[in-house]
Amino acid sequence: MDRAGKEELVSTLNTVFKDAGVVVVAHYSGLTVAQMQKLRQEMKKAGATVKVAKNRLVKIALDGTDVASIAGLMKGPTILAYSADPVAAPKVAAEFAKTHDKLVILGGAMGTTALNADGVKALATMPSLDELRAKLVGLVQAPATKLAQLSTAPAAKLARVFGAYANRDAA
């Protein structure tokens, strides 16, 4: 890669680090090409991205970003997984690491908060932003549904009572 390509990569990574909600760093030594492709596909489905870059260039790109705390993790063959959703990248990385022991999660960062490997795995167990939104909508709609049921229930009960009196007189 020539100097211009390296400069472009550093500026692109710098932009990614400034915009990312979470960055996960992992060792990938020993993964096959097919396994790496599967990891990339799973990350893409979740709205996350996997990037392999030279550690030296990543450290340069980290300067001046919130996630600069991951610079110490950049040793050996590392990959970066990042996403705007703070749960997407850790969730996919943790699930993939369960089935592929060659992927070793080193840590990461969520904003200015540095995460160790356990922190990334704990973040992976949290519900995603879309799941939280769905739960919130369900909670907001539930009282309205109950209120509608309660408002129609007395009228239905009253109608049944009148029907019972009418049936009793007819019998």
H/E element, 115: strand 113-116
List Cβ neighbours of 109 (8 Å cut-off, separation of 6 or more): 22, 23, 66, 67, 68, 69, 70, 115
Average pLDDT for 59-85: 89
Strand partners, 80: 25, 51
Same domain, 83 and 96: yes
Same domain, 17 and 29: yes
Beta carbons of 23 and 70 less than 8 angstroms apart? yes
- Tens digits of residue pLDDT in 73-110: 999 899 999 998 888 889 999 999 999 999 999 999 98
Query: In total, how many domains does the chain have?
Result: 2
Among 126, 146, 162, residue at a domain's last position: 126
> Rounded to whole angstroms, how far apart are CA atoms 82 and 22?
6
Same domain, 61 and 87: yes
With bands split at pLDDT 50, 70 and 90, how would you rate the model's confidence at 153? low
Same domain, 86 and 163: no
pTM, rounded to two decimals: 0.71
> Rounded to whole angstroms, how far apart are CA atoms 62 and 76?
17
Please give the backbone phi and psi of residue 20, each rounded to the nearest 5 degrees, phi first: -70, 140
pLDDT of 155 above 70: no
Provide the domain limits for residue 75.
Answer: 3-126
Same domain, 25 and 56: yes
Same domain, 121 and 156: no
